[in-house]
């Protein structure tokens, strides 16, 4: 990551949350960068060794141990991908269209049908089955005469 001096120059915020084992404390505090630089030095990189922050004492409960959160400056978008994925810069509209058409051509070459084609085939099969029901053209035999009777009435 970056040193304390670089984080200060960039305009990041740092927040400590108490993680004392003895007390259930939810105290948080935001020290100034000058305090941290004076205490740890401007070249301190706490991403590799966070044990240095174990020396900090909570103002509320007196417990040791802190959870450290570094927040980017206001108006920035933060991290790119998150969850371990770097999305990188996005494609332009033209590049995305070219890539989409290339994928569609590859799917067509492999014989993979799109969702629209699969839905159209399914609707056509259902339509043909309904038409066969109306006409009475079943490959098994005639339709059941009791299929559409009113239920709940005895004749």
Q: In terms of domains, do 66 and 97 share one?
A: no
pLDDT at residue 145 in the model: 74
- The closest alpha carbon to 36, from 18, 58, 14, 21, belongs to 14
Q: In terms of domains, do 11 and 63 share one?
A: yes
Q: Residue 66 domain-assigned?
A: yes
Q: In terms of domains, do 57 and 11 share one?
A: yes
CA atoms of 100 and 107, how far apart (whole Å): 11
SS3 48: coil
CA atoms of 24 and 19, how far apart (whole Å): 8
- Cα separation values, 25 from 33, 50, 61, 79, Å: 24, 20, 7, 29
pLDDT at residue 153 in the model: 60
Domain that holds residue 101: 93-135
Number of domains in the chain: 2
pLDDT at residue 4 in the model: 83
pLDDT at residue 44 in the model: 81
Q: In terms of domains, do 20 and 56 share one?
A: yes
Q: Residue 39 domain-assigned?
A: yes
CA atoms of 43 and 20, how far apart (whole Å): 27
Q: In terms of domains, do 66 and 11 share one?
A: yes
Q: Residue 26 domain-assigned?
A: yes
- Please, what are the averages of pLDDT over each run of 10 residues along the chain (155 residues)? 82 82 75 85 75 76 79 67 62 91 92 91 94 76 70 62
pLDDT at residue 118 in the model: 93
Q: Residue 62 domain-assigned?
A: yes
pLDDT at residue 31 in the model: 84
* pTM: predicted TM-score of the whole model, two decimal places: 0.44
């Amino acid at each position: 990551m970056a040193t304390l001096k670089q984080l200060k120059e960039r305009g990041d915020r740092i927040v400590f949350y108490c993680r004392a084992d003895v007390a259930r404390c939810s105290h948080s505090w935001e020290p100034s960068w000058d305090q941290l630089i004076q205490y740890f030095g401007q070249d301190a990189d706490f991403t590799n060794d966070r044990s240095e922050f174990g020396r900090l004492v909570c103002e509320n409960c007196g417990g040791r141990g802190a959870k450290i959160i570094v927040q980017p400056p206001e108006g920035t978008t933060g991290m790119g991908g998150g969850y371990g994925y770097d999305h990188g810069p996005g494609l332009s509209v033209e590049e995305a269209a070219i890539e989409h058409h290339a994928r569609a051509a590859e799917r067509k070459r492999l014989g993979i049908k799109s969702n629209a084609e699969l839905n159209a085939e399914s609707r056509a099969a259902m339509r043909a089955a309904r038409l066969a029901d109306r006409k009475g053209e079943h490959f098994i035999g005639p339709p059941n005469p009791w299929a559409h009777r009113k239920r709940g009435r005895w004749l």
